[in-house]
Structure 1
Amino acid sequence: MSPRFGALLYKRVHMRGLGYLFLSILSQVRSEALKVIIGHVGHRVTLPCAYDARVQGLVSFCWGRGKVPTFKCSNRILAAEDGEVFFISDTRYQLLGRVGDGNVSLTILNAQPSDAGVYGCRVELPGWFNDYKVNTYLVVEEAPSDQPGTQDNVPATAGTQKEGDDDTTKRTKQVEDGLKAFQEVGNICRLAAVVSITVLFILVFISSGRRSCPRQHVTTSTVENIYQIV
């Protein structure tokens, strides 16, 4: 293989690798909206997560504390394989929906302030990088004095909405707006990182290309001199 062909192949491989790196980082720069659920201390609260079991069948899934990572679930609190639950970290975590229909929503019994935070649901659908992911931010507040401790966090309809429910809706909107603003700041930082890394790699690539040119010239000249001597 000639030095010129080798140098050309080297550049193509590095450019392709740079492109893959750029796309990989750029894929992280997106708005990942969190669903916001507001529960009350002493009540049960349900975090929604569902898929079409009629199409996909019974699949593996998990719940964790924290946003859904690249693989599996962070700080796993519940896991199931082919629809059968094999791990639950706390008996307060329950699946009260019809799992056979694809409803894998997580219900937390007797919610406490320590339960507040981000929860991630991953449903392992068939195919490469095809998993269904839901990230939910749970807010736990003190229960209104006129509500019994067994009431669920069922959203009120337009016909049955009460003043307390309207206040909850407003607070949910405020939390969502705050999270959205925080995520936008994170996206700007990630975008700046993408641009900086891309420029750095381009500079390194150009610099390495310049250093490789004299070496190729010397090698070619040496080979020609050997042929002349022979």
Structure 2
Amino acid sequence: MRNLYFVLVSVLTGVASEILTEVGGLTGHNVTLPCVYDVDSHGVLDFCWGRGKVPRFKCSDTFLSSEDQSVLNEDPSRYQVLGSPTDGDVSLTIVDAQWSDEGVYGCRIQIPGWFNDIKVNIRLVLKQAPVEEITTQKWISVTAGDYQRHLEKSTSALTSTGADQRTLSAVEFVVTQNKFNAFLDVGNVVRMGAIFFSTIIIILVFISQRRFQPGVRLQPVNTSAAENIYESIPAASQRW
């Protein structure tokens, strides 16, 4: 009866270990395979990682394990436990994963007692990482002669630009001066015309006033009264 019990437990344990959890990753990148347990329930336990499914005892093709909380790692540059084993996190990190890292990995947590170990089987599936475009700078060899010719062209272009700007400024000044002179000529003509027409208007006004003003006529002298006076003077003297 006891032997039958061990057989049944072994079968059930074997069936449980057949379950695979798939984890994906990219080539050239770090990939983490999870494996955790409850420290509060079991305390700090030993563990192991190996290639292939977890067998009935220990790990298959073990490359990382712990004993009495001392970690043994055959290749620390490739395999690391970045979690905290004292907190129950013994997840495996594969550094710079390559195509050869694909496959099944097994993690065993060794719980004291018969057939109590925790078994975790994981299949790692990798994909090609996107190709990053590398930008390269093109360098052109320039001789001293080429640099001198380039410098002369640049200087000539700057000189030509400056001369063109000075010529343009001179032309604009001449055009402005001509416009100003034309304005003065027009102003002189307007002033002369205004003076001429003002003189004509004044003359016409003066003539019109003289024409319509009434003339002064001289009154004729009454000579007959004077003669009577002179005639009366001798007669009076005779009476005296």
Name the TM-score, length of structure 2 as normaliser.
0.49
Alpha-carbon distance change, 24 to 105 in structure 1, aligned in 2, over 3 angstroms: closer
2:15 match: secondary structure: coil
Structure 2: runs of 5 or more not aligned: 134-240
Q: In the TM superposition, what are the counterparts of 1:100-111 in structure 2 within 5 Å?
A: 100-111=86-97
The number of aligned residues is 132
Aligned ranges 1:138-177 → 2 under 5 Å:
138-145=124-131
Q: Which residue of 1 aligns with 2:85?
A: 99
CA distance in 2 between counterparts of 1:78 and 1:59 reads: 14
Asked whether the equivalents of residues 49 and 64 of structure 2 are also in contact (C-alpha less than 8 Å), the reply is yes
Which of structures 1 and 2 has the larger relative contact order (alpha carbons within 8 angstroms, sep 6+)? Answer: 1
Distance 1:25 1:118, change over 3 A: same
- The answer on 1:34 being equivalent to 2:17 is no
* Paired amino acid for 2:8: L
Tell me the SS of whatever aligns to 2:40.
Answer: helix
Match of 1:54 among 20, 32, 40: 40
CA RMSD of aligned residues (A): 2.6
Q: In structure 2, what is the equivalent of residue 112 of structure 1? A: 98
Q: Is the 8 A contact 1:78 1:87 kept in 2?
A: yes
Q: Please give the secondary structure, in 1, of the residue aligned with 2:107.
A: strand
Q: 1:54 to 1:116 in 2, by over 3 A?
A: same
d(CA) in 2 for partners of 1:57, 1:22: 29
Between the aligned residues of both structures, percent identity stands at 51
Residue number among 81, 105, 123 corresponding to 2:109 in the alignment: 123
Write out aligned runs for 1:191-206 (5 A).
none
TM-score (norm 1): 0.51
**Looking at CA atoms only, which structure, 1 or 2, has the larger radius of gyration?**
2
Which residue of 2 is the match for residue 23 of structure 1? 8
Q: Is the 8 A contact 2:73 2:79 kept in 1?
A: no
CA–CA separation in structure 2 for the residues paired with 1:115 and 1:92: 10
Structure 1: where are the runs of 5+ without partners?
1-15, 148-230
Contact 2:9 2:115 survives alignment (8 Å):
no
